[in-house]
Structure formats: structure tokens, C-alpha cells
């Protein structure tokens, strides 16, 4: 057994894929999965060793990982060499480091690859390295910063609002975005504006033109009043003449290949996939060897990949192959983490040739089409602009047609062909109809997964590995819900938490501060900044602010003018992730509690209250607000029972 080598990866799916490949390369290799991180900070305590000039993590093996750790310790003793093949980003590097530390590995090698194929694994095995501690320290810094913010602010939220709340460093900035957008919508006052459109005819073909100028003055959005419209209807003659015809050729370039943010945004736009689902599907495709690594902010492609894509285009769309390859500039500032954009590992494996089903197939096809399209020629359009004039009123008609499809042969775009009739300058046309369209301005749209990630990226907040987690955390905490259109809407609790944090901890919610902290993590990864210096500089001033605010902030609760039927204490309105409820001010001595909907104390746990829910058959039932801790449910509860009768 001693001559055999062991490869450790994170995922069992990745393990199976690599095993299949290694059977061809070298059957003496064995592969095992660590199932992600094998160590972490303890759950119920700060788990940090705080010194004047140093903050170190205190790691523990979670209960759920003890079995796999025990198995790994036994396994590594049987092999002559251990190879760590976890992912190439900071998270993967940290997992590899934890394995080295916990398993006490002396003779180990570290390999990485951006795609799971025979060629890349062969290359990786020929070019092993040691652990990159700069990447590890960047990951540890993020984990520790998040723990500091969560551990110090969460107890304050418990005291001032309600138990069970928590705050996160990056999630709080995202929550602020969602709350601010919601308030923009709430405060929005719609304004009316008008558009004037004439319908003219040439040889039986009708087309429309829109008013854009009156007596040499260009119209703004709100230029037209009802008085002006009345005057205009009198002054516009029954005919117009063609003042000017302008024809031009425009081109539209293909989009760059996908990075994490654009992939999640496009998957939302096309399929309404939440970011968490998109990343889970992409993870599966990567681990099965079908696409390259899915956590990336680089739009670059390997030279070999570009050549294969161009060969595919040459075989299938020869007229759309440009003379030169297309190079896309990467946005990544990290040389150590810079890797390829998201692309198929084999461009000749078109979607119909795969055995993928449903959502996996949708995402793979989207990635495949974008990758092929990014190396194709631009699409060309002929655009025609016709200016029509009548007594000082000028109207514009726009027409367009595609004259060369280019990349649109493989990736569809939103395009509506508008063919205008052949006209000559000074030609007279009869106005068949004049219509006035009244419009109302609309509020900004609520964020969805795609638009929120795009906004976070524009501010420099979060990184490819964190986008999906940010959204899922806000949903889990009850700070945000999805409406019927799956847009992100802040709850009353989310707004309350946001307002408290924004008033008393503005730095944590400050977009620029959050972005700068991300930049510092990047600099740690590049060995340009000391991770301990960053942690110490943040922790001690922040600790003092929290201490001060804990004394200053008053508890948020509202007296409702009624007394508790059990002990006579004052009843107050409180918050939970399930909504508002009423409880006794003498809690925990008095457990009286009532829901604002049912007012029924749970007969099983006697601390929660019953809330109305609907099942898949649209039937109403009641469940305990302490679910899943309390699993009480019923279909036969009267909604007007009083707590004191229980």
C-alpha cells in the first residue's frame, strides 16, 4: 500500500469524476472527499484568542465532521504521499491548509486545476506546490471579521429588538440596499408625461413617427402639458413632408464569457433561478467535469480554449468566424486568483449531446452558447432614421433590420425588426391618425438576485464565492422575503434592524467602507498587507463602539395599553422573524404571548403562538411560530380562542 498516493478533494462528486480520470492515467491513485471544511470556529462562542497585537482563530472540529476526520486520519497513514486537490480559490486553499494542520501532514503536495479533465489533472500532477499561506490568511481574515461583527452586534440586537437576531458584515450592506430601494418605491410619486405619435401611409404601408421637436426646441420628458397638446392638435396639418433620411450601419458585439456575477444575473433573467440554485447547479457541472471553475471574476480564456472554440465556429458557422481571436480584459486584480471565465471544458460537447436534464441542461446550454458566441463576429444592422415635418412640428420614425447575424446565430438577442417604406426627401405623406399617449413614471424596480449581485459588484462589495450566500443569509434571517415575482422585499423586522444599524453603526453599512475591506482582503491574498494588522485595526475600535452603543440604545418595544391576563403586567408589542406579536413585559417570569393574527398560545411548547399557513393544496392550517424547534401543527383550531383559556 505504501507506494499508493492519496488525493483529497472537498466533494464526493468531484472525487468520483477524478477517480474515473485517474483510472486511465494511473490506477495507483486513490481519491477521498473531506466534505468541505473539517474545522471551523466554534458556534456558540467568539472562538478567537484576542491579544493586544494579535487576533487568532480557535478552531474546532464540528460534531458532524468528526467521523470523516477520524477516517481521514486512518487513511493518510496508509499512503506514501498525500495530494491536496481542493479548489483553487481562497476557500479551497484554506480547506487544504486545515487538512495539513489537523492531519499533521508532513509529506504532502498541493495541486489545483480550473477544470476537471484528463489534460489538466495530468498537468497539475506534474506541477505540484505547497500551501499558499497568503490565500489562507485572506480567507481566515474574512471569517474572523465576519465573526467579530456577528458576535459583537448580535447580542445587542437580541437585547434591543428580540432574541435570535444576527448581523453580518457584508449582508448588512446588502440589506441596506434592499431597504433603501423599498423606501424609494414607497416614497415615489408618479408623474404623468405625454407622447405624440402620428400614423402615416405610403403605398398602403402604414408606419409611426414620434414627436421630438417643436419650433426648433427639442422635447424633454415633461415638456408637453395638456394646454400645449390642445394647441398642437389644432396646428398640426393633415400631411407631413419628409425632411431628412439618414441610413447607417451599426454593429453589436457579443458579450464576454461568463463570470460568477454575470452567470447568476443571466440565469435569473432567463430562468428565474435564485443565485443559490445557479451556484449549486454550476458546482455540479464543474465537479462532473463539464465546465470550468464557477467562482471567478475573470473574463479571460486560455489560448487552447480559444483555438478549440474557433475550430468549432469554423466547422459550424464559417462565415461568422472573425480573422482574429477576441480577447476580453479581466476585471480581477488578483494575479494569484486570476483564472479563466466560466466555459465548457469541451466546446464540441453541445447541449444536445449531453445526458443532462432540466435545470442542469438549461444552465449548461446558457454557458455553452455564451462561450461560442464570444468568439464570433459582430452582428450588423442597418438603421434608418426618417424626420417628418409639419408646421414646425417634427416627428422621427426609426427602422432597423439585421443584415448580418454574426454571433446571434448561436446566442439570441432582443431585437425587433422594423422595416420602413422607401421614401424620398421632400416627399409628402398623409397623416392617417394622431394619437396622444399618456404615461406615468414608474418607481425603480425592486432588487432580484441578478440585479442585487450586479449592484454589489459595482460597489466592490462581496466576491464570487459570497454572492449567493449573502442573499440566502438575508432570507434565512427573515430580514428579506420574496414576493410573488420573486423580487427581494425587506420585512418590517429587516427594516427595523437596518435602521438601528444605520443609525448606530453607520460604518458597518457604509458601502465604501465595506468595499475597502474587500480590497484589504485582496491585498492580504497578494502578500501586500499583514492580516493581523487588518484584524487588530478593526477589532479594538469596533469593540469600543459596541460597548458605548449597548448603553445608549433603548430597547425597541411598544406598550399597547392592555395588561397581561395572567400576571397583570403591561403587554408590549415585540418582533420576531415571523412578524409582530404581543407578549408580557414580565417575560421570562411570565410566558404569556399572543399572535396578532390568532392570539393562540401553542398547546405543545406553551411559548410560541400559532400562525396561519397554507399547504400545497391551498388548505389553511396553523403551526407553531417556534417551528422547527416545535413541530405542532393542526387543521382544526378556532381562530378566536384566548390564551388565558389554555
CA distances from 430 to 235, 335, 359, 390, 534 (A): 15, 64, 53, 11, 73
Answer whether residue 186 is part of any domain.
no
583 or 290, greater pLDDT: 290
| pLDDT attached to residue 28 | 85
Nearby residues of 384 by Cβ (< 8 Å), 6 or more positions away: 245, 246, 247, 398, 399, 400, 420
Q: What angle do CA 287, 291, 295 make, to 5 degrees?
A: 80
| pLDDT attached to residue 38 | 95
Asked if 83 and 151 sit in the same domain, the reply is no
Asked if 242 and 221 sit in the same domain, the reply is yes
473 or 637, greater pLDDT: 473
Q: Report pLDDT digits (tens) over 129-184.
A: 999 999 999 999 999 999 999 999 988 888 888 777 888 889 999 999 999 999 99
| pLDDT attached to residue 331 | 58
Could you tell me the three cell numbers for 332? 480581477
Answer whether residue 96 is part of any domain.
yes
603 or 239, greater pLDDT: 239
Q: Report pLDDT digits (tens) over 576-606.
A: 766 677 888 888 888 888 765 455 667 677 6
| pLDDT attached to residue 579 | 65
| pLDDT attached to residue 465 | 85
Q: Where are the beta strands (DSSP E) in 13-102?
A: 29-33, 40-41, 48-51, 54-57, 59-60, 81-84
Q: Report pLDDT digits (tens) over 255-287.
A: 999 999 999 999 999 999 999 999 999 999 999
Q: Report pLDDT digits (tens) over 550-563.
A: 888 887 777 888 88
Whether 117 has a pLDDT exceeding 90, the answer reads yes
pLDDT average, residue stretch 67-93: 93
Q: How many domains does the chain have?
A: 5
Q: Is it true that the peptide bond before 518 is cis, omega within 30 degrees of 0? A: no
Cβ atoms within 10 A of the Cβ of 187, count? 8
| pLDDT attached to residue 333 | 47
Q: Tell me what the pLDDT averaged over the chain comes to.
A: 89
Asked if 578 and 546 sit in the same domain, the reply is no
| pLDDT attached to residue 163 | 74
Give me the sheet containing 81-84, strands edge to edge.
29-33, 5-9, 81-84, 108-110
Nearby residues of 56 by Cβ (< 8 Å), 6 or more positions away: 48, 49
Residue 494 belongs to domain with CATH number: 1.10.460.10
Asked if 266 and 366 sit in the same domain, the reply is yes
Answer whether residue 629 is part of any domain.
yes
Asked if 408 and 468 sit in the same domain, the reply is no
569 and 584 in contact (C-beta within 8 Å)? yes
Whether 608 has a pLDDT exceeding 90, the answer reads no
Whether 55 has a pLDDT exceeding 50, the answer reads yes
Asked if 474 and 545 sit in the same domain, the reply is yes
Rounded CA separation 303/447 (Å): 37
Asked if 240 and 294 sit in the same domain, the reply is no
Whether 1 has a pLDDT exceeding 50, the answer reads no
370 and 262 in contact (C-beta within 8 Å)? no
Question: By mean pLDDT, which of 24-28, 216-220, 253-257, 263-267 is the weakest?
Answer: 24-28
Asked if 367 and 397 sit in the same domain, the reply is no
Nearby residues of 159 by Cβ (< 8 Å), 6 or more positions away: 550, 555
| pLDDT attached to residue 646 | 27
Q: Report pLDDT digits (tens) over 352-394.
A: 999 999 999 999 999 999 999 999 999 999 999 999 999 899 9
- Collapsed DSSP state (helix, strand, coil) of residue 171: helix
Residue 52 belongs to domain with CATH number: 3.40.50.140
389, 423, 439 — which closes off a domain?
439
Backbone angles phi, psi at 424, to 5 degrees: -125, 150
Q: Which of 368-377, 420-429, 474-483, 519-528 has the highest mean pLDDT?
A: 368-377
Question: By mean pLDDT, which of 7-11, 99-103, 263-267, 580-584 is the weakest?
Answer: 580-584
Rounded CA separation 150/164 (Å): 12
Rounded CA separation 575/558 (Å): 10
Asked if 32 and 50 sit in the same domain, the reply is yes
Answer whether residue 392 is part of any domain.
yes
Answer whether residue 183 is part of any domain.
no
Asked if 21 and 118 sit in the same domain, the reply is yes
| pLDDT attached to residue 257 | 97
Residue 197 belongs to domain with CATH number: 2.70.20.10
Asked if 471 and 487 sit in the same domain, the reply is yes
321, 344, 373 — which closes off a domain?
373
Q: Report pLDDT digits (tens) over 322-357.
A: 999 999 876 544 433 457 899 999 999 999 999 999
Among all residues, which ones are annotated catalytic?
A: 293
- Residue with grid cell 434592499, as numbered in its chain: 178
Which DSSP symbol is given to 344?
Answer: B
Answer whether residue 184 is part of any domain.
no
- 3-state DSSP percent of the chain in helix, strand and coil, to 5: 40, 25, 40
465 and 90 in contact (C-beta within 8 Å)? yes
**Domain span at 627:** 558-645
523, 552, 581 — which closes off a domain?
552
Whether 480 has a pLDDT exceeding 70, the answer reads yes
Backbone angles phi, psi at 621, to 5 degrees: -145, 170
| pLDDT attached to residue 335 | 35
Answer whether residue 364 is part of any domain.
yes
Residue 355 belongs to domain with CATH number: 1.10.290.10
Asked if 325 and 393 sit in the same domain, the reply is no
Answer whether residue 172 is part of any domain.
no
Q: What is the DSSP track for 483-533?
A: -TT--EEE-HHHHHHHHHHHHH-HHHH-HHHHHHHHHHHHHHHTTSS-HHH
Amino acid at each position: 500500500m505504501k507506494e499508493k498516493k492519496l488525493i483529497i478533494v472537498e466533494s464526493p462528486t468531484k472525487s468520483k469524476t477524478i477517480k474515473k480520470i485517474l483510472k486511465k492515467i494511473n490506477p495507483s491513485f486513490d481519491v477521498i472527499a473531506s466534505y468541505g471544511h473539517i474545522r471551523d470556529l466554534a458556534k456558540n462562542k467568539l472562538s478567537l484568542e484576542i491579544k493586544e497585537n494579535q487576533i487568532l482563530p480557535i478552531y474546532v472540529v464540528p460534531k458532524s465532521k468528526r467521523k470523516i476526520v477520524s477516517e481521514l486520519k486512518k487513511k493518510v497513514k496508509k499512503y506514501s504521499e498525500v495530494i491536496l486537490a481542493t479548489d483553487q480559490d481562497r476557500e479551497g486553499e484554506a480547506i487544504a491548509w486545515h487538512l495539513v494542520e489537523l492531519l499533521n501532514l508532513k509529506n504532502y503536495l498541493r495541486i489545483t486545476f480550473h477544470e476537471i479533465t484528463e489534460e489538466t489533472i495530468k498537468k497539475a500532477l506534474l506541477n505540484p506546490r505547497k500551501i499558499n499561506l497568503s490565500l489562507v490568511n485572506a480567507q481566515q481574515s474574512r471569517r474572523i471579521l465576519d465573526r467579530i461583527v456577528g458576535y459583537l452586534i448580535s447580542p445587542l440586537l437580541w437585547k434591543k429588538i428580540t432574541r435570535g437576531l444576527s448581523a453580518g458584515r457584508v449582508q448588512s450592506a446588502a440589506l441596506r440596499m434592499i431597504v433603501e430601494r423599498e423606501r424609494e418605491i414607497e416614497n415615489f410619486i408618479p408623474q404623468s408625461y405625454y407622447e405624440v405619435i402620428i400614423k402615416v401611409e405610403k403605398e398602403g404601408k402604414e408606419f409611426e413617427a414620434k414627436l421630438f421637436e417643436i419650433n426648433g426646441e427639442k422635447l424633454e420628458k415633461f415638456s408637453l402639458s395638456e394646454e400645449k397638446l390642445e394647441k398642437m392638435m389644432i396646428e398640426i396639418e393633415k400631411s407631413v413632408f419628409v425632411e431628412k433620411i439618414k441610413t447607417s450601419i451599426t454593429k453589436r458585439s457579443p458579450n464576454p464569457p461568463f463570470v460568477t456575477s454575470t452567470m447568476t444575473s443571466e440565469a435569473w433573467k432567463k430562468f428565474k433561478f435564485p443565485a443559490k440554485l445557479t451556484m449549486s447547479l454550476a458546482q455540479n457541472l464543474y465537479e462532473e467535469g463539464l465546465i470550468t471553475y464557477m467562482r471567478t471574476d475573470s473574463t479571460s480564456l486560455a489560448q487552447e480554449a480559444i483555438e478549440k472554440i474557433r475550430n468549432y465556429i469554423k466547422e459550424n458557422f464559417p462565415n461568422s468566424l472573425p480573422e482574429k481571436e477576441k480577447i476580453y480584459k479581466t476585471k480581477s486584480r488578483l494575479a494569484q486568483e486570476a483564472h479563466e471565465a466560466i466555459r465548457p471544458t469541451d466546446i464540441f460537447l453541445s447541449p444536445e449531446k449531453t445526458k443532462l436534464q432540466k435545470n442542469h441542461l438549461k444552465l449548461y446550454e446558457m454557458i455553452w452558447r455564451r462561450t461560442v458566441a464570444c468568439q464570433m463576429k459582430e452582428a450588423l444592422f442597418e438603421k434608418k432614421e426618417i424626420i417628418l415635418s409639419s408646421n414646425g412640428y417634427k416627428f422621427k420614425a426609426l427602422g432597423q433590420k439585421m443584415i448580418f447575424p454574426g454571433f446571434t446565430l448561436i446566442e439570441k438577442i432582443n431585437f425587433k425588426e422594423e422595416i420602413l417604406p422607401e421614401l424620398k426627401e421632400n416627399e409628402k405623406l398623409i397623416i392617417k391618425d394622431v394619437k396622444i399617449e399618456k404615461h406615468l413614471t414608474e418607481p425603480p424596480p425592486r432588487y432580484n438576485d441578478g440585479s442585487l449581485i450586479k449592484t454589489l459588484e459595482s460597489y466592490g462589495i462581496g466576491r464570487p464565492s459570497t454572492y449567493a450566500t449573502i442573499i440566502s443569509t438575508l432570507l434565512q434571517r427573515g430580514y428579506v422575503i420574496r414576493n410573488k415575482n420573486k423580487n427581494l422585499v425587506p420585512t418590517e423586522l429587516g427594516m427595523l434592524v437596518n435602521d438601528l444599524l444605520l443609525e448606530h453603526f453607520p460604518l458597518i453599512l457604509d458601502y465604501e467602507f465595506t468595499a475597502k475591506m474587500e480590497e484589504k482582503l485582496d491585498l492580504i491574498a497578494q502578500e501586500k498587507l499583514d492580516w493581523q494588522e487588518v484584524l487588530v485595526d478593526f477589532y479594538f475600535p469596533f469593540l469600543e463602539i459596541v460597548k458605548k452603543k449597548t448603553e445608549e440604545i433603548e430597547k425597541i418595544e411598544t406598550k399597547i395599553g392592555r395588561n397581561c391576563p395572567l400576571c397583570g403586567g403591561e403587554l408590549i408589542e415585540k418582533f420576531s422573524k415571523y412578524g409582530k406579536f404581543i407578549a408580557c413585559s414580565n417575560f421570562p417570569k411570565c410566558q404569556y404571548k399572543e399572535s396578532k393574527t390568532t392570539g393562540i398560545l401553542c398547546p405543545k411548547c406553551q411559548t410560541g403562538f400559532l400562525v396561519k399557513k397554507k399547504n400545497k393544496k391551498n388548505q389553511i392550517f396553523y403551526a407553531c411560530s417556534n417551528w422547527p424547534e416545535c413541530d405542532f401543527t393542526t387543521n382544526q383550531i378556532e381562530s378566536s380562542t384566548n390564551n388565558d383559556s389554555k
